[in-house]
């Protein structure tokens, strides 16, 4: 099971970090944060396909076609931990080394987007709220933890669904020829 967790967790990590890195590498001076957010969530969901594939591989190749819900969920969660950790580490490196002005630039982008879309009082309240959040996300450990948890929670849901779909109790029927 350990080899499968490492293999499929690594595949998921390469996809999720690779997409983020490629976006950073090829983005312009003024990145499109809306597109980046959509691409980020899409890469999380796509990378979690390896959770399903890992559970299915383990069931079919190591467990003779049967796996309990609990064992499938455990395997899925273990696979999810690897890309979650990888993305948390990547986020730390990104905000500290690759784009140290990210938090400031992103928050300014959000403020600019809100201008003119709400009343002055609502705008001021929203900016105040964002400023308090910015102070929290300026801490690279907290930002990385949030990214870890985001990937983990999405991955956990996918592991849960995968375990429900792939569970197969008892031995698989043999194919006689």
Considering only CA atoms, which of 96, 99, 87, 102 is closest in space to residue 147? 87
Low-confidence ranges of the chain (pLDDT < 50): 172, 174-177
pLDDT for 140: 85
pLDDT for 176: 46
Measured between alpha carbons, how far is residue 166 from residues 5, 43, 44, 70, 95 in Å?
16, 23, 21, 11, 38
pLDDT for 78: 98
- Distance, in Å, from the CA atom of 164 to the CA atom of 108, rounded to the nearest integer, reads 43
> What's the whole-model pTM score?
0.82
pLDDT for 114: 81
């Amino acid at each position: 099971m350990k080899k499968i967790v490492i293999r499929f967790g690594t595949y998921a990590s390469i996809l999720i970090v690779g997409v983020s890195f490629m976006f950073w590498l090829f983005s312009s001076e003024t990145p499109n944060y809306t597109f980046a957010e959509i691409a980020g969530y899409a890469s999380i969901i796509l990378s979690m396909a390896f959770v399903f594939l890992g559970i299915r591989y383990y069931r079919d190749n190591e467990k003779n076609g049967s796996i309990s819900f609990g064992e499938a969920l455990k395997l899925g969660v273990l696979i999810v931990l690897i890309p979650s950790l990888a993305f948390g580490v990547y986020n730390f490196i990104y905000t500290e080394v690759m784009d140290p002005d990210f938090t400031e630039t992103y928050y300014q982008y959000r403020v600019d987007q809100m201008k003119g879309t709400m009343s002055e009082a609502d705008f001021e309240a929203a900016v105040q709220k964002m400023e308090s959040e910015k102070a929290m996300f300026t801490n690279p450990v907290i930002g990385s933890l949030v990214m870890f948890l985001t990937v983990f929670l999405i991955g956990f849901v996918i592991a849960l669904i995968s375990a429900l779909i792939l569970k197969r109790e008892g031995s698989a029927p043999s194919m006689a020829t």
